[in-house]
Structure formats: structure tokens, C-alpha cells
Structure 1
Amino acid sequence: MEERWSTEHVLSLAPDAASQKAAGKLSAPAPWSGTGTDGTALWGECKGSGRTPYRTAIELATPAYQCSCPSRKFPCKHALGLLLLWSGTPQAVPAGEPADWVAEWLASRRERAEKRAKEPVDPEAARRRAEKRGARVAAGAAELRLRLADRVRHGLADQSTAGPWEEVAARMVDAQAPGLATRVRELDALPQERLLEEYAMLHLLATAATRTDELPAELAATVRARVGYTVETSEVLAGPTVRDRWLVLGSRTVPMEGGSDERLTTRRIWLRGAKTGRPALLLSFGRPGQAPALALPTGHLVEADLAYHPGAHPLRATLGERYGVPEPAPAEPPAGLTVAEAVAGYGTAVADDPWLESRPTVLGDVVPVRTPDGWFLTDGHHSVPIRTSTVPESALWRLAAVSTGRPLTVFGEYGHQGFAPVTAWAAGRRPVGLTNA
């Protein structure tokens, strides 16, 4: 029997709360006709205010959406409504062959993908662009080092010469170093006791950015990524790939803050290879009014090729060819670490990448507890604080309700500021997402 997505996963694809509410009104069979699915796509016609119904199609693997309605939101309420109908009322979306208009849309998507893959690349032009940007980044990083040294020279407690860091952040944007700009903007919000630590890490990164040619290749790639260099998807996929059945551990969608990107959203999807055991992080971005394009249901297995971005501690990856649609994983939770093992693993990762804030971690047999000092996860021997700044209070109570005092398997991100839970598994039950609680 075909596995349908959960309602929670479908609603996580919506660009905003209004779209979720509107989609709920279209999740019943009444407004729909001509619905169908072939296991890789959904389609249907939804009655609107005009004579002609809106034609809606969804390709499930990416997913990708197409609708004849005039909405500027993506996915629109019709696409979300069709997904909810398919999820909650399977008999209302019967198996069948795609209608002609659906087949044409799917074929055009394949043709565009093949065309992009064959587009020629001018290596000489790319080299000149890289050299020009490298010079600008190095100049910006050198200026940042001087600004940091100047603040330290006058003393962190002396605010007479200290102004907002926004001007410096703007200079880093001009220098084509958005990663440095983001870290600089965060300085204004840091408490006094953390300033020296962050100054030191930022100074180290700026110094490394001026000396990438002297660093080992993997560490140089890490520095470039931290500074804000991006690598073309085609370039990443042209390198080695890893084929595996990837377990979707969880996802989180959050708005990007600061600068001109404040209305964008970022979706982080964490995977673990069933055979290799390797972790991977997929990133997807959405413009205003549009949800990030890539979405994979938590607790499912996706057989696919992944290409890892270069770095000293490779984690971010690009999704390559997929072999079929996501399938539900066994109900058993993934293997987890003890708290002590998680701490040791993070320490090893930081040795490779000093600027690593956190890493994906599965904790096994832990219980959530609330104390006067905050929320913790404990395995009976050691405890780790929960980063409540990244998780709503309702999610923590939901985590406690799933546990009922019994040990859980919990996936999240562990780092020097604590653990940010994303997904929880109770014995014999499907995973519970915590990011949208």
C-alpha cells in the first residue's frame, strides 16, 4: 500500500499560516474532480469562483508544484489542499495514468533538468571571477581584523568608541563575504561575557580568509564556506557521490534574519545513511511568499545519490539522482549515542572545524526533565541542557508528553550551547516532529 505523507509534513510545506488555513478548506473531496496519482505525482482539478477549475499537479519526489490559479504563493492553497486530500482520504485520489496536461508538465521538467546538466562552463571566466572575488574578500577580512583589534585595544567595557556593528557588516557585504557579515551583525546582540570569545573566533576566521592559499585544501574549503562562498550545484554533483538509503531524521524551517534576507526562509533537512551511517544536511531556501522547494518527510527512507560539499568536516550535501519516492522506514528508532559520546563527538568535530556551532546528533535512551535551571535531557549518567531559544515551550511539553517519563530516542543538533531537539521516537511509534509544535 502506498504510504501517504502525514498532515504535519504537508502543512510544513506551506509558505505561511494563512495558506495552511486555506488549504484545510480544500482538503475534502467536494471541490475536487479528476484526481489521481501514479505514485510519483498527484493531480486534480479544483473548483474555484470561475467557470474553469484550477488544474493542480504535484511531483512528489522534489516536491514540485504547478497550478493554473493566479496565486503568487508557492505552493498555493490548491496544491496543499490536494496533498491533504491525498494524505487524509486516500480513496479520493485513486491510482491512474497522468492526464495529458500533467504528462506534459512532467516531461517539460525533465527536459529542463537535462538541458541544465548539459550547459557548457567557461573555466577561464570562472577563474577570473574567483580571483577578483578572492581579492575583495581578503581586503574585507583584513579590515575586519583591524576593527576587532581596535575594539579590544580600547577595552570591551569602554563604549565611548564602540558603535553598532551594522556599518562593518555592510562593508563585509560589499567585500562579498556574507558569512562574515552575518557573524558581525550578531555581535551587537551578544552579552558582554561572550564578546571576547566571539571576537577571537571571528578574528581567527578573518585571518584564515586572508591565507586560504596556505591552508590544507579541506580546511581552506571550510574557511571559504564560513566566509560565505557558495559552490554551484553542478560543480558539487560533478564530484564523488555517495549512494545510500538515507533516513530523514528531521527538518526545521526558519526565517533568515538580518540584512536584505530577513524575509527569506531556510529549510534544514538532516539525513543519515542506512548503510554508511554518514550524516548529511540539505539546505533549501524560499523567497518571500514561497516555501523552500525541497521537502522530505521525516521517518522516511530516500534512496539517492548525495554529493558532499568540500570541507574539513563534510556535512552539507546536495541531493543528486533519486531512485524512487520516499518510503516509510521501520518503526524502530535510529541508533543513538549516550550524552558522553555526543560530547566527545562534538569535540572531535570542532578539532576539524573550529567555527562549528553544533552537529547533528541522535541521543538514545534519554528522558526530558524540567528543573529550576531549565530543561535537560538525561540518560541517567549525564545530562545536557536543551537550547530553549531554538525550541518553543510547547514543543518541550510535547516532548515530555511523548516520553511520559520513559526513555526516548531524540534527534537534534548538539553544540557548546546545548541540544536543540528536532524529532523524537518513542518505542514502537512513528517519529514525532518537534519544530512545528
Structure 2
Amino acid sequence: MAAPWTIEQVSGMAPDTASIAAGRKLASAAKWQRLGQTERLIWGEIRGSGSTPYQTCIDTAGPAFKCSCPSRKFPCKHSLGLALAHAASASAFATDAPPQWVAEWLDKREARSEREARGKTKTAEPVDPATAQRRAVAQAKRRDQREEKMQAGLDELQRWLADTLRQGLARTMEQESWDHMAARLVDAQIPGLARWLRRCQEARYGSEQWQGTALQALSRLQLILDACQRRETLPEPVRADLDELLGIPLAKETVLTQPGVADIWRVMGKWTSDTDRLQVQRTWLRGERTQRWALLLDFAVAGAVLPITPPEGVGIEGELAFYPATWPVRALLKTQQGIEPAQPNAMIAAGDGLDGLYRTYAERLAATPWLERIPAALRDLTPVKVDEHWLLIDAAHRQIPLAPHFPLRWELLAMGGGAPVQLFGEWDGDAFFPLTIADGARLQGFHALHMELS
């Protein structure tokens, strides 16, 4: 019997809000014909606009989806509806052997996986010295070509930044100039700096005092450019931070060779964002014994399905391998032994006050001047709205602003009801973006709530 996903997990896989809304209309097992499941698969047939039912199947190990409908969305509403029906009533799915069309699809997937595995094995096989030398020369040539392109992009960005500051921010905040420079950085294979440049541009929409915010962001951009010129002389952890920011990838295989850190890693919060036709899923974890933070980053092109992570509060018993950094926090799941039930008290126990937040951020920023955000579990903060400002206030009447792009401000205000709440989220030095709230005896993830309300 396949383990059912939660409604929140299914919602997170939807390509858009219209698809999940349409999927909910098909979430009743009564609407489906011939529902079935195995330990890995769930399938069903449902009447469509044609004379024959649509055949829908999900491989939960992928996840992967197959539907005979003509929709170009992935997953389609039928796949989402089938997953929601299984989440609501897994017992309605028979445990029979899969029909032929399901077995054929699974056979094709397994055959493709075998071909890919053979390709990797063939690549890893020993080669003669001459072939190895040719590959090394070709790899070095590609590396040199990329470094040349990157250096040209960095030089052009330095000239553009100098011109921007010389002409004045008010004259140079036109959209076209910034878009052209960002596109040039992508062409130069520095996608990380392109994203940073767009953050600088977005600063002008943050508040009426946008000039100071934009100038601060551009100053940090100059700091990154200075570090790039001294990249070869930087300490190894700082260079690793810089490479990640620039978008220079480190192979997962390399990271997984690092010693693993064993613990029960509690899911504290997660969020998915879309940037430049790329989906980015951030999942924050905290070790029960080590009290260490960890971040799982997953990427998928627009329309693809991101990996499914457990709900907030659930514990992953296993080992994490951490990427090298001055503050190693990004990690990969190296081994997994099991899943522990959700414990809302884990977030409350990790909670700190504003003094702890400021102290931790100052320490991390001193080590990594281009730090984007840190995780923070905060206790006893009251959400309030004062005029047009959204704030979190502690018992001493100190306040921090909510991130202006946080989409559930009214919902957070209603959940608080004028009383202090326990929150987990991200702090970027200026504002707090909530990801999870401890709501009584349970945790409520704001991303899942956002998808549901949308």
C-alpha cells in the first residue's frame, strides 16, 4: 500500500493555482473508476470529454505522473485529483495487481533508469591514459573558457556599477538598463550575481526610503566584486561561499563524500519560489541533538515536480552531508533510517528572543558579508498592523517588520488574535519572513496554507 501524501504536499506539486483548484473537484474517490495501488504506485480511471476514460497513474517513488488526457500542464488536474483522493481515503484504493497500461508505463520507466545507470557506470569505468589525458585537457579548456566569460561579465558589471553611482540612483533605476545587465551576467555564466542584481533593483519598491536600501544593496554588490578579484587568495570556506553566490556548482557527489552528521532532523519550515522560470524549494531543518541548522535546497524547471519533503514538525532520522562554507548550513540527505512523528514543541524549544536574533545575525554577517538570510525561531511575538506597517512586537515593545512580500499578513494577524505566537522563519537583516507558526498542539506551514488559499 502506497503511503499517502498530505494535502499540503499535493498542493505543493501543482503547476499553478488553477490546476490544484481543478484537482480538488476530482478529489473524491467516488468520481473515479478502478482505483488501485501498490507499495509504489497509485492509479485510476476517470471519465473525461472523450468516449474512453482517462488513465492516470502516479509513481510515488519519483514522484512521476502519467495521464492520457491532452493537458499540457504537469502534473495535470487528474493527477492532482488522484493524489488528493488517495490522501483523503487510501482505503478506497484496491491492492490488486496493476493493469497492463500501468505495468507498461512502469516497465518503460525502469528501462530508462537502467540505461541511465549503465551510462553512469560506463563513464566511471577505467580508461586508457591517452583517453584520460584528452578528457582532462578538454575539461581544463572548458573551465578556462568559463572563467574568461565570467571575468568579462564581472568587468562589465564593475563599469556598469560605477556609471550607475556616478549618474545617481534616480536616473539609473530604469528597467531596461538593469534587465540588460542581468541578462549579460546570465550570458557570462554568473546567474547568482544576476539574481543579486535583481534584488538591488527590487529595493526601490520596498519603501519610500528606497534610496538608502538600494544603495546598501549596491554597496554589498561592490563588496562581492572586490572579493571576486581576490578569489584565489581567499580562505577556502570564504571562497566556497563566494562560488555558491556566483552560481558555480559543486557536484553533489563531491558533497556526499563528506562525513555525515547523524541526528533526528526536524522540519522547521519551507517555502517554494519561482525565479527566472526556475522553481526553488527551501526546507529548513534543525537537529534535535546537535541543535544545528540545515537547509535542503531543491530546484526544478518551471512545470517540473519538486522533491516531496515531510511536513513541518516531522523528524528525518539520518545523516546530512554539508556543503563547505564559513557557516555550513546547506546540506544533502546522505542516509535516511526512518521518519519520526511531528513534534510541535521542537520549534518552541528552539525559540529565541530578538536579542538572540540580532546577535546571531551579526555573527553570521561578520563572517559572510553577503549573507542573504538566516533561520530564526522566535517566541512570544505579537503580530500587529500599525497604519500601513506590519510588525512583530515582543513583551518589551520592541519590534521587527514583517517582510513586505509575505503574502499571508492578514492570516497571521487572525491566527495571533492579538496574543503572542511562536514563529519560525527567515531574517534578512531588515525584515522577517514567517514560514511556520506553532498553532496550539500543531504546526502550520505558511507555504501549504498559501497554496490552499490560492
Q: Quickly name the TM-score band, shorter chain normalised.
A: 0.7 to 0.9
Counterpart check, 1:428 vs 2:428 = no
**Larger % of helix: which?**
2
Cα deviation code 1:353-408 (max 9, x no counterpart): 1111211111123222222362222331364433342212xx22322333333432
* Paired position in structure 1 for 2:93: 93
Q: Displacement, 1:78?
A: 2.4
Which secondary structure does the structure 1 equivalent of 2:245 belong to? helix
Alignment of 1:12-411 (within 5 A): 12-37=12-37, 41-48=41-48, 49-51=50-52, 53-59=54-60, 63-93=63-93, 101=102, 104=107, 107-108=110-111, 111=114, 114-115=117-118, 118=121, 120=123, 125-156=138-169, 164-189=177-202, 190=204, 191-256=210-275, 261=276, 263-324=277-338, 326-334=339-347, 335-372=350-387, 374-381=389-396, 383-392=398-407, 395-411=408-424
Larger mean Cα displacement after TM superposition, 296-305 or 94-103? 94-103
C-alpha distance in structure 1 between counterparts of 2:157 and 2:302, whole Å = 31
Residues 270 and 445 in structure 2, CA contact (< 8 A), matched pair in contact too: no
2:361 & 2:173 partners in 1: Cα distance?
39
Task: Name the TM-score, length of structure 1 as normaliser.
Answer: 0.85
Q: Is the 8 A contact 2:266 2:346 kept in 1?
A: no
Residue 409 of structure 1: how far off its partner (Å): 1.8
Structure 1 residue 164 displacement after superposition: 2.0
Offset of residue 200 of structure 1 = 1.8
**SS at 1:51 equivalent:** coil
Give the CA deviation at 1:417: 1.6
1:248 and 1:374 map into 2 onto residues whose CA distance is 30
Give the 3-state SS of the residue equivalent to 1:133 in structure 2.
helix
Aligned to 2:131: none
Distance 1:156 1:13 in 2: 40
Deviation track 1:53-105 (CA, whole Å, cap 9, x = no partner) reads: 41412315x54434444433222222211221122223213567767745647
Q: Name the aligned partner's letter for residue 178 of structure 1.
A: P
CA–CA distance in structure 2, aligned partners of residues 162 and 51 of structure 1:
51
Q: Which amino acid aligns with 1:120?
A: T
Deviation at 1:228, TM superposition (A): 1.8
Distance 1:53 1:35 in 2: 12
Aligned partners of 1:250 and 1:298 also within 8 Å = yes
Q: Structure 1 CA distance, aligned partners of 2:229 and 2:383?
A: 44
* Structure 2 SS opposite 1:405: coil
SS of equivalent to 1:120: helix
Task: Give the letter for the 1:298 counterpart.
Answer: E
In 1, Cα distance between equivalents of 2:25 and 2:157? 53
CA drift of 1:248 comes to: 1.9
- The amino acid across from 1:391 in the alignment is F
Equivalents in 1 of 2:121, 2:394: separation in Å? 52
C-alpha contact (below 8 Å) 1:54/1:67 kept by paired residues: yes
* Alpha-carbon displacement from aligned partner over 1:230-276 (angstroms, at most 9, x marks no partner): 223333323333343322222222221xxxx2x43322222222333
Counterparts of 1:160 and 1:225, CA distance in 2: 27
- Relative to structure 1, the CA distance from residue 308 to residue 67 in structure 2 (aligned partners, 3 Å threshold; closer, same or farther) is farther
- Unaligned segments of structure 2, at least 5 residues: 125-134, 205-209
Is residue 47–residue 54 contact of structure 1 (8 Å, CA) maintained in 2? no
Stretch deviating more after TM superposition (204-213 or 127-136): 127-136
Contact preservation (8 Å) 1:14, 1:80: yes
Stretch deviating more after TM superposition (263-272 or 290-299) = 290-299
Indicate the SS of the match to 1:30. Answer: helix
CA contact (8 A) 1:29 1:92 kept: yes
Following superposition, the deviation at residue 160 of structure 1 comes to 12
Q: Per the alignment, in what secondary structure is the counterpart of residue 29 of structure 2?
A: coil
**Equivalent AA in structure 1 for residue 440 of structure 2:** A
Scaled by the length of structure 2, the TM-score of the pair is 0.82
Distance 1:124 1:296, change over 3 A: farther
The code of the aligned residue for 1:248 comes to V
- CA 1:59 to 1:146, structure 2 compared with 1: closer, same or farther past 3 Å? same
Distance in 1 between residues matched to 2:43 and 2:29, nearest whole Å: 13
- Distance change (3 Å), C-alpha of 1:129 and 1:97: same
Report the CA distance shift for 1:242/1:118 in structure 2 as closer, same or farther (over 3 A): farther
| Contact 1:141/1:210 (8 A) holds in 2 | no
Separation of aligned partners in 2, 1:182 and 1:23? 33
One-letter code of the match for 1:54?
A: Q
Displacement, 1:116?
6.8
